[in-house]
Amino acid sequence: MLIEKIDKIILREKLLNRDERLLVCVSGGPDSVFLLELLFLLKDKYKLDISVAHVNHCLRAKESDCDELFVRRLSRKHDLPFFRCRAVINQIAKKQKTSIEETARMLRYNFFFNLCSLHKFDKIVLAHTKDDQTETILMRILRGTGLSGLVAMQAKTCLNGFTVIRPLLAIEKKEIIAYLKKHRIKFRQDSSNLKTDFFRNKIRLKILPFLKKISPQIDVNLQRLAEQARQLDSFLDGEVKKNYSILVSEGYSGNFVFARDKFLLLMPAMRGLLLRHIILKLAGDLRNIDCKHIQIAEEFIADGACGSKSIDLPKGIIIKKTREYIYFQKGQKKGQTVPSPDKYKLPLGGGVIIPELGFSFKANITKKTCFAGKKPAYIEYFDCDELIFPLIVRTREFGDVFWPLGMPGKKKLKKFFIDEKIEGHEKGSIPLIVSGDNIAWVVGRRIAEFCKITGETKRILKIEAKPLNPKP
């Protein structure tokens, strides 16, 4: 019955597809041994190609070696490829000045990710259970997690670009133990699980039993909380991405910028979530970034003091501020001036702010190209299908050529500037809209011949350039 129950979960959550290559992570304990047994029983149904991965942390001397030997023999029994990693975690943690738990976790995942890259596995399969989920939620609450942390583990997720599934996440450990005993399937017992040296063990052995005396349904309540958090987090994630696309501009030089006044108009909760999203994109993850850092960043941005200032956050992140704009950068020393971003993406259906050039830009598909009077110099229309996306906003570069609208051929951009009687001091600040290797628009001057609207144009792109500080 248990196998059928989990198979229904697999089908409902779409955890497995036919003909997939799976890397199953097996420690030798009851949960992972059952997971391997489960997948082996489903192997023919889904046409699965299964391999086994084991990490020997060398924390329990001969006991750890016996675990490794047990998993090796189990793999051989099922005729499955076996991969193992052996590392003295105590020494690594001491050298890196990190906890043993965190060091072991990072080592395991890096090992699994490397195997997936090398052997092209489709998914990593982990044996986390309902009990593990309850412990994780409680651990995160005690550590002061935010809403996203309450979501805890999910049955299917993506880590570092790799798909990770947890088919046992809705199954209790007692169900697994009962199955293994009924079918006389051997497994290993980790003696360190009975010690309270590690935080998770303290939760499992002391805190949860105490809480269950007060609230017998604590595990059910925590699971319900996690599900509600997951639904709310999914909604908020969409809202954050929507605000990000409207407010934040990404530079090719690796910086992010947004208008300070527009940011401050957001609800306080959305401001914090948006800052987390920017930091995540800049740093790759949010480890070592907690609530106090987000609060520091918000207070820094809200402070209306004049002049350009900066603050440092963990992971080498620097936030710089002017009167009107906020910059996020990585890897630069405090005190450096904000670098001019040479290139910015102009997304279709979105916009970009470039304070250094004094313009913001928007690009949208439209059906109209007419004006009641004279067309403004900073609005142009293009044959969308003749352009290469994403469009790039930049200033002139050495060797640039341009094919002006109405001209028989290309000319050097330098010559075009001379013909247009553009003063020397202006040439380096005029924005250019670039499509692939071709200049599509010398902003405020002329578009290119190759992307003009014709009788065969099917989609019209409207680009609007707006001066940030228009002259009176």
pLDDT, tens digit (0-9, with 9 covering 90-100), for 144-178: 777 778 888 899 999 888 999 999 999 999 999 99
In this structure, the answer to whether residues 423 and 315 fall within a common structural domain is no
Residue 135 within any structural domain of the chain: yes
Determine the pLDDT at residue 371: 58
Sequence-distant (≥ 6) Cβ neighbours of residue 416 within 8 angstroms: 402, 404, 442
Task: Indicate if the alpha-carbon torsion angle 417, 419, 422, 425 is positive or negative.
Answer: positive
Question: The CATH number of the domain where 379 resides is what?
Answer: 3.50.40.10
Question: The CATH number of the domain where 320 resides is what?
Answer: 3.30.465.60
Determine the pLDDT at residue 373: 58
Among 189, 215, 241, the domain-final residue is: 215
Determine the pLDDT at residue 331: 67
Helix (H) or strand (E) holding 453: none
Determine the pLDDT at residue 427: 82
Residue 339 within any structural domain of the chain: no
SS3 of residue 411 by DSSP: strand
| Angstrom distance (rounded) from CA 321 to CA 334 | 12
Sequence-distant (≥ 6) Cβ neighbours of residue 263 within 8 angstroms: 247, 271, 274, 301, 326
Determine the pLDDT at residue 393: 92
Domain that holds residue 18: 2-215
Residue 151 within any structural domain of the chain: yes
Among 330, 352, 368, the domain-final residue is: 330
Residue 92 within any structural domain of the chain: yes
E strand segments, 317-371? 317-321, 325-330, 343-346, 350-354, 359-366
In this structure, the answer to whether residues 170 and 88 fall within a common structural domain is yes
In this structure, the answer to whether residues 186 and 278 fall within a common structural domain is no
| Angstrom distance (rounded) from CA 178 to CA 161 | 36
Residue 238 within any structural domain of the chain: no
- Angle at CA of residue 294, ends 292 and 297, nearest 5°: 110
Closest to 58 in 3D by CA, of 83, 98, 88: 88
In this structure, the answer to whether residues 413 and 296 fall within a common structural domain is no
In this structure, the answer to whether residues 32 and 177 fall within a common structural domain is yes
In this structure, the answer to whether residues 49 and 150 fall within a common structural domain is yes
Q: How many domains does the chain contain in total?
A: 3
In this structure, the answer to whether residues 430 and 386 fall within a common structural domain is yes
Residue 232 within any structural domain of the chain: no
pLDDT values of the chain reduced to their tens digit, one per residue, 472 residues? 899 999 999 999 999 999 999 999 999 999 999 999 999 999 999 999 999 999 999 888 899 999 999 999 999 999 999 999 998 988 988 888 888 888 899 999 999 999 999 999 999 999 999 999 999 999 888 877 777 788 888 999 998 889 999 999 999 999 999 999 999 999 998 877 777 777 888 998 899 999 999 999 998 999 899 889 989 988 999 999 999 988 888 765 567 888 889 999 999 999 999 999 999 888 887 777 888 889 999 999 998 765 558 888 888 899 988 878 888 987 644 444 444 445 788 888 878 888 777 788 999 998 876 655 567 889 999 999 999 998 999 988 888 999 999 999 999 999 999 999 887 767 888 999 999 999 999 999 999 999 999 999 999 999 999 887 554 3
Cβ(447)–Cβ(435) below 8 Å:
no
pLDDT, tens digit (0-9, with 9 covering 90-100), for 294-332: 999 999 999 876 555 888 888 889 998 887 888 898 764
Q: Residue 252 has what DSSP assignment?
A: T
Cβ(107)–Cβ(132) below 8 Å:
no
Residue 311 within any structural domain of the chain: yes
In this structure, the answer to whether residues 191 and 267 fall within a common structural domain is no
Among 281, 308, 330, the domain-final residue is: 330
In this structure, the answer to whether residues 175 and 63 fall within a common structural domain is yes
In this structure, the answer to whether residues 393 and 321 fall within a common structural domain is no
In this structure, the answer to whether residues 196 and 290 fall within a common structural domain is no
Determine the pLDDT at residue 422: 85
pTM over 0.75: no
Determine the pLDDT at residue 335: 45
Question: The CATH number of the domain where 56 resides is what?
Answer: 3.40.50.620
Determine the pLDDT at residue 157: 92
Residue 110 within any structural domain of the chain: yes
Cβ(104)–Cβ(89) below 8 Å:
yes
CA 51: distance to chain centroid? Answer: 28
In this structure, the answer to whether residues 306 and 369 fall within a common structural domain is no
Determine the pLDDT at residue 339: 42
